[in-house]
Structure 1
Amino acid sequence: MLRNPRALAGLAASLALCAAAPAHAEPYPAKPIQMVVPQAPGGTNDIVARLVAADLSQRLGQQVVVENRPGAGGNIGTQYAARATPDGYTLLMTISSTQAINPSLYRQVPFDPVKDFEPIAPVASVPNVLVVNPAFPARSMAELISMAKARPDYYRFASAGNGTLNHLLGEMLNSMAGIKLEHVPYKGVAPALNDVLGNQVPMAFASLPSVLPHIKAGKVRALGVSSARRSPFAPDIPAIGETVPGYSGDLWVGLFAVKGTPREVSQKLAQTLHAALADKALRDKLAAQGAEVLDGTPQQFSALLKSDMDKWAKIVKSSGAQVD
């Protein structure tokens, strides 16, 4: 029998530790994973998220469930994800306009895109394309720029609303090309594009997947894509950067975990996502939606986010765009 008080105290402490420690650590994931999409169903991010979630479900052996939490330009769902337990069971699949533009666009943003999240990997990019009504005289970016320089504030471009990506792409073109196109905001890309089709406004930026059928049907004419290089889905359309050096602005979709997620969990997610994006079956499904696979390390994704935040902050400031 132990009589020594110190020995008794040591035994008690050991027993307490044994009681507190689990018999074994469960391998991740041990239950379904929630993938928050802070945009509405049916949009680019939602489509990409559901394709990726289905693939990850098979690879991880647990269901990855997409949950849409739209509102306030993505701020509502992003805030929800930021406040979740950092255990790898709540992920955020979001787009660059929410994560990289909103911090400059809104006076108060209920999350910090850098401090609240762990970058897992970029997933895909979707370029915008500048389209004009077929009756518009310019048949190239060079011709448009020449016309706009000759008549500042005369030509108009439509967007899905103040501060949206297609608005800021127009403002970036104004700044980098030394022109002044007048901005006409709409409540969504569909009514903006409808007025371009009806020749109520001559031009607009729109995502390539949404406008490609109209281009092929000859209902609009494409002058240039917003990506740094031509899109593999429409190689005949020049990149705007071929005329305006340095011009580039894609919509990207990427996966984040909550800041503080265990390193081994984040690494497993990154490795699994990398394997998924290397699979031809998933790449083909994404390509069918006009999304080009990006992939990359968490470090590369972090650098992309910070670079885009800096770039769009300057465009937002120069344009004077503000949502609230």
Structure 2
Amino acid sequence: MTTSITRRHLLGGAAAGAALLAMPRLSSAATWPARPITAVLGFPAGGGLDAYVRLLSPFLSEKLGTQILVENRTGANGNIATQKVVEAKADGYTVLFSTASAMAAASYAFPDLSFNPIADLEHITLATQSSYVLLVNKETPANSWDEFVALAKTEPGKLVHACAGVGSVNHLLGELLSQRAGIQLNTVQYKGGAPAMTDLLANQAQCTFISVGQAEPYVKAGQLKAILNCAPKRAEQLPDTPASTEFGLADVDQMSFWISASAPKGTPPEIIQALQKAIKDSYANPDLTDRMAKAGLTPVGSTPEEFMAKLNADHALYGKIIKDSNLTF
């Protein structure tokens, strides 16, 4: 079991060792990477994050000239993995790949965390993103967003929103859409996306939000109905599904599924820049981007500064949604 540490320990240790470690760290940066890099993931194999990192790894390995080892450190909605990287050596050999739920929403959903995912890491890049799609099961008598809203207003609190994670973006997106549409959903928390989808397919739940890449096969097989793409425009994979901006639903298009890369606080800036460049340059390979497109993922590869702007904006929006919804965790 991972031992939790306090912010005092983190700050005290950093201050005490800063002067002593500065020279060796800069020296090691010049020869980096000299051994494999571990990519730490907070979610299990088979999910969207895991699939993306394993897809990226061989291309990233080629760019960096070293092996990428993938480690799934699951639990607490990604927080166990985040803590592992917060505590890791700032030498460029440990990289956290994470999601909006674990990076921008975690401090609200888990107020007792001993670390701050935004302040206690060096952020490398917004690696990729995808829109969320509102899915409803076949038995729900709503085939469009307007029909869904009308049904929800007729039966307040009856439509079950299958949510995979308390305080997750999936959860908060349901709250935001409810605010914008003036409806009330019955949000039920599940222990992951798989059991949520099982109940949705069995009509034990009526709706959920998943990324467009995950939604596409269910929709094309006729198993579920996609009625809203939470994005500025329609998705290529689901062109018949209208975008949230078509209905004037403010801020909903900002609630995207995204994957980021971060490193321990104090990682040399040369290494941060090299990692960001390697991820972005990997996207020049059409084999990678074609596979990403099939998964509904848009390559980004932003600068650290651009990602910080997105991270802070999302964090602020999530806080506002929680406040306006009177959510407590």
Q: 1:207 maps to what in 2?
A: 211
Pick aligned residue for 2:156 from 136, 141, 152: 152
The one-letter code of the counterpart of 1:259 is K
Tell me which structure has the larger Cα radius of gyration.
1
Pick aligned residue for 1:132 from 107, 122, 136: 136
Give yes or no for contact 2:212–2:235 (8 Å, CA) kept in 1.
no
Q: 1:256 maps to what in 2?
A: 262
The one-letter code of the counterpart of 2:279 is L
Q: Write the deviation string for residues 76-124 of structure 1: whole angstroms up to 9, x where unpaired.
A: 1100101111121111111111001111111212321222112211111
Q: Provide the aligned length of Structure 1 versus Structure 2.
A: 303
**How do 1:6-25 and structure 2 match up within 5 A?**
none
Q: 1:64 maps to what in 2?
A: 68
1:134/1:120 Cα in 2 relative to 1: closer, same or farther (>3 Å)? same
Cα deviation for residue 200 of structure 1 reads 2.5
Q: Does 1:311 align with 2:314?
A: no
For the residue of structure 1 that corresponds to 2:156, the secondary structure is coil
- Aligned-partner Cα distance in 1 for 2:322–2:119: 22
Q: 2:13 maps to what in 1?
A: none
Question: Which range is displaced more, 97-106 or 179-188?
Answer: 179-188
The one-letter code of the counterpart of 1:289 is A
Q: Does 1:47 align with 2:51?
A: yes
For the residue of structure 1 that corresponds to 2:205, the secondary structure is coil
Q: 1:11 maps to what in 2?
A: none
Give yes or no for contact 1:163–1:322 (8 Å, CA) kept in 2.
no
1:186/1:269 Cα in 2 relative to 1: closer, same or farther (>3 Å)? closer
- Aligned-partner Cα distance in 2 for 1:181–1:202: 10
- Aligned-partner Cα distance in 2 for 1:103–1:57: 32
Cα deviation for residue 216 of structure 1 reads 1.0
Question: Which range is displaced more, 71-80 or 283-292?
Answer: 283-292
TM-score using structure 1 length? 0.86
For the residue of structure 2 that corresponds to 1:36, the secondary structure is strand
Of all paired residues, the percent bearing the same amino acid is 37
1:44/1:228 Cα in 2 relative to 1: closer, same or farther (>3 Å)? same
Pick aligned residue for 2:288 from 267, 282, 294: 282
1:213/1:107 Cα in 2 relative to 1: closer, same or farther (>3 Å)? same
Cα deviation for residue 158 of structure 1 reads 1.9
For the residue of structure 2 that corresponds to 1:132, the secondary structure is strand
Give yes or no for contact 1:106–1:322 (8 Å, CA) kept in 2.
no
For the residue of structure 1 that corresponds to 2:54, the secondary structure is helix
Flag as ranges the 4+ runs of structure 1 deviating above 4 A.
320-323
TM-score using structure 2 length? 0.85
Q: 1:141 maps to what in 2?
A: 145
For the residue of structure 2 that corresponds to 1:224, the secondary structure is strand
* Structure 2 unmatched runs, 5+: 1-22
**How do 1:98-117 and structure 2 match up within 5 A?**
98-117=102-121
For the residue of structure 2 that corresponds to 1:278, the secondary structure is coil
- Aligned-partner Cα distance in 2 for 1:320–1:153: 16
Give yes or no for contact 1:162–1:321 (8 Å, CA) kept in 2.
no
Cα deviation for residue 320 of structure 1 reads 4.7
- Aligned-partner Cα distance in 2 for 1:270–1:141: 39
The one-letter code of the counterpart of 1:256 is S
- Aligned-partner Cα distance in 1 for 2:190–2:163: 6
Question: Which range is displaced more, 134-143 or 154-163?
Answer: 154-163
Q: 2:20 maps to what in 1?
A: none
Q: 1:8 maps to what in 2?
A: none
Question: What's the Cα RMSD here?
Answer: 2.2
- Aligned-partner Cα distance in 1 for 2:297–2:156: 35
